C-alpha cells in the first residue's frame, strides 16, 4: 500500500452473468497458480453467480480447493451459524456445498461470540498469522462500503465491531423475511486488513452500484467512499457490468 493514487484495472462486460464468469476465472487462475492459496471471500447477491461459476469450473476439473483456506470479510453480530441470514450459512450454501470446500478451512468472525470485541481481535490475529490473503474478493455497497466499512471508516481500520449504516440495513432487508429485523451490528475486516491482501478483485453489477462505482474510481480518495481507498493498493482489478459502469463517462 502507498499514499499514491493508482488506477485499478477495470473490465466492463455486458451483463452480470459475464462479469461473474470473468470473476470466477480470476479466482480459478489464482488456485491454478497456487493450490494452497488463501482466499478472502465475500457474501451478498453479487457473489451468488460468481460462486456458481467457480463451482462449475471446479466440477469441470483441473482446479481444487482441497488445499486452499479462506477468510470472510464479515458477519452479523447476533446471528448463529445456522441462521439462514448469517454469513456462515450463506457461505455453506453458496460456496462450501457447490465447490466441495471443507467448511473447517473457511474462517469467518463468529456472530455469537460472548464478547464481540474480543472476537474481532481474535479474527484480526488469525488473519495476521494465516495470511497474507492471496486474492481478496469484494462486493461494493450502494453507499461505497467494502466489507462493512461504512462511510466514515478510516484507512487504518482493522477488524472491529461496527454499526451498520441505515442504507445498508435497508439494502440488506431484502434478504430477511417480513417482520425479521436486520441486525444493527457486524464484525468486519477493516480497510487496512483488506489492503494487506496481495491482490484484490472487486465485482459490482447492476444500476444500483453505478454511483458508488463512480465515487470509488473518480471521486476523492477518502472515508466518504471507503472503496476509494482501494486506489492506494497496487494490484486491484475491478469487474463491472455495463449497468454498474454507466456513470463512468470517459
Ligand atoms: C459482504 C460484504 C458487503 C457486500 C456489499 C454488496 O460480505 O461485505 O460489502 O459485498 O454489501 O452486497 P450485494 O452483492 O448484495 O449487493
Catalytic residue chosen out of the listed positions 72, 143, 149, 172: 143
**pLDDT for residue 1 is more than 60:** no
- Residue 248 resides in a domain: no
- Residue 246 resides in a domain: no
**pLDDT for residue 26 is more than 80:** yes
**pLDDT for residue 9 is more than 60:** yes
- Residue 184 resides in a domain: yes
Give the residue, by CA position, lying nearest to ligand 1 atom 3.
147
Domain that holds residue 151: 9-241
**pLDDT for residue 248 is more than 70:** yes
Which residues are paired to 202 by β-bridges? 138, 238
Mean model confidence pLDDT for the chain: 96
**pLDDT for residue 180 is more than 90:** no
Residue 102 pLDDT: 98
For ligand 1, the distance from its centroid to the CA atom of residue 101, given in whole angstroms, is 21
- Residue 3 resides in a domain: no
Kindly report whether the peptide bond that precedes residue 132 is cis, defined as omega within 30 degrees of 0: yes
Among 23, 43, 90, residue to substitute to test ligand 1 (most atoms within 8 Å of Cβ): 43
If one counts the domains in the chain, the total is 1
80-111 pLDDT tens trace:
999 999 999 999 999 999 999 999 999 999 99
Listing DSSP states for the chain in one string gives --SS-PPPEEEEESSHHHHHHHHHHHHHHHHHH-TTPEEEE--STTHHHHHHHHHHHHHHSS---TT-EEEESEEETT--TTSTTSHHHHHIIIIIHHH---GGGEE---TT-SSHHHHHHHHHHHHHHH---SEEEE---TTS-BTTB-TT--TT--SEEEEPPHHHHHHHGGGSPTTPPPPSEEEE--HHHHHTSSEEEEEE-SGGGHHHHHHHHHS-SBTTBGGGGGGGSSSEEEEEETTTTTT---
- For residues 42-70, average pLDDT: 97
Query: Which band of pLDDT confidence, cut at 50, 70 and 90, is reported for residue 146?
Result: very high
159 CB neighbour count, 10 Å cutoff: 27
Give the residue, by CA position, lying nearest to ligand 1 atom 10.
139
- Residue 28 resides in a domain: yes
Question: What residues flank ligand 1, with Cβ below 6 Å?
Answer: 42-46, 73-74, 139-141, 145-148
**pLDDT for residue 231 is more than 80:** yes
Query: Which band of pLDDT confidence, cut at 50, 70 and 90, is reported for residue 249?
Result: confident
Query: Which band of pLDDT confidence, cut at 50, 70 and 90, is reported for residue 177?
Result: confident
Catalytic residue chosen out of the listed positions 21, 74, 124, 165: 74
Catalytic residue chosen out of the listed positions 145, 165, 172, 241: 145
Residue 128 pLDDT: 96
The CA distance from 22 to 11, in Å, is 9
We report the CATH number of the domain holding residue 223 as 3.40.50.1360
Specify whether 72 is catalytic: no
Task: Return the residue matching grid coordinates 476465472.
Answer: 25
- Residue 162 resides in a domain: yes
Specify whether 74 is catalytic: yes
**79-106 exposure pattern, b = at least 16 Cβ within 10 A, e = fewer:** bebebebbbbbbbbebbbeebebeeeeb
* CA nearest neighbour of 198 among 235, 229, 232: 235
CA distances from 213 to 12, 109, 143, 193, 199 (A): 12, 27, 10, 21, 19
Specify whether 150 is catalytic: yes
**pLDDT for residue 2 is more than 50:** no
Cell of residue 95, nine digits: 460456496
- For residues 210-225, average pLDDT: 98
- Residue 1 resides in a domain: no
- Residue 108 resides in a domain: yes
Specify whether 94 is catalytic: no
For ligand 1, the distance from its centroid to the CA atom of residue 150, given in whole angstroms, is 11
For ligand 1, the distance from its centroid to the CA atom of residue 136, given in whole angstroms, is 13
125 CB burial (10 A radius; 0-12, 13-18, 19+): exposed
For ligand 1, the distance from its centroid to the CA atom of residue 46, given in whole angstroms, is 7
Query: How many residues are given for the chain?
Result: 250
Query: Which band of pLDDT confidence, cut at 50, 70 and 90, is reported for residue 3?
Result: low
For ligand 1, the distance from its centroid to the CA atom of residue 31, given in whole angstroms, is 23
Residue 17 pLDDT: 98
Tell me how many degrees the CA angle 20-23-26 measures, rounded to the nearest 5.
Answer: 155
Amino acid at each position: 500500500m502507498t499514499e499514491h493514487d493508482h488506477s485499478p484495472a477495470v473490465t466492463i462486460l455486458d451483463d452480470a452473468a459475464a462479469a461473474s464468469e470473468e470473476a470466477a476465472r480470476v479466482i480459478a487462475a489464482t488456485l491454478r497458480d497456487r493450490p494452497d492459496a488463501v482466499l478472502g471471500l465475500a457474501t451478498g447477491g453479487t457473489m451468488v453467480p460468481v460462486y456458481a461459476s467457480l463451482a462449475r469450473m471446479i466440477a469441470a476439473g483441473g482446479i481444487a480447493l482441497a488445499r486452499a483456506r479462506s477468510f470472510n470479510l464479515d458477519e452479523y453480530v447476533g446471528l448463529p451459524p445456522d441462521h439462514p441470514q448469517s454469513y456462515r450459512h450463506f457461505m455453506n450454501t453458496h460456496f462450501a456445498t457447490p465447490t466441495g470446500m471443507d467448511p473447517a478451512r473457511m474462517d469467518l468472525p463468529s456472530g455469537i461470540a460472548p464478547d464481540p470485541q474480543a472476537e474481532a481481535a481474535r479474527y484480526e490475529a488469525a488473519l495476521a498469522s494465516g495470511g497474507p490473503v492471496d486474492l481478496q474478493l469484494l462486493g461494493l455497497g450502494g453507499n461505497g462500503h467494502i466489507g462493512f466499512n461504512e462511510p466514515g471508516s478510516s484507512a487504518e481500520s482493522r477488524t472491529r465491531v461496527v454499526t451498520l449504516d441505515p442504507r445498508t440495513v435497508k439494502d440488506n432487508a431484502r434478504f430477511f423475511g417480513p417482520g425479521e429485523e436486520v441486525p444493527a451490528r457486524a464484525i468486519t475486516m477493516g480497510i487496512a486488513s483488506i489492503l494487506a491482501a496481495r491482490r484484490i478483485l472487486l465485482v459490482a453489477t447492476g444500476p444500483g452500484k453505478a454511483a458508488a462505482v463512480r465515487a470509488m474510481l473518480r471521486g476523492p480518495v477518502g472515508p466518504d467512499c471507503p472503496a476509494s481507498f482501494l486506489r492506494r493498493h497496487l494490484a486491484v482489478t475491478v469487474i463491472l457490468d455495463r449497468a454498474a459502469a454507466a456513470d463512468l463517462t470517459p
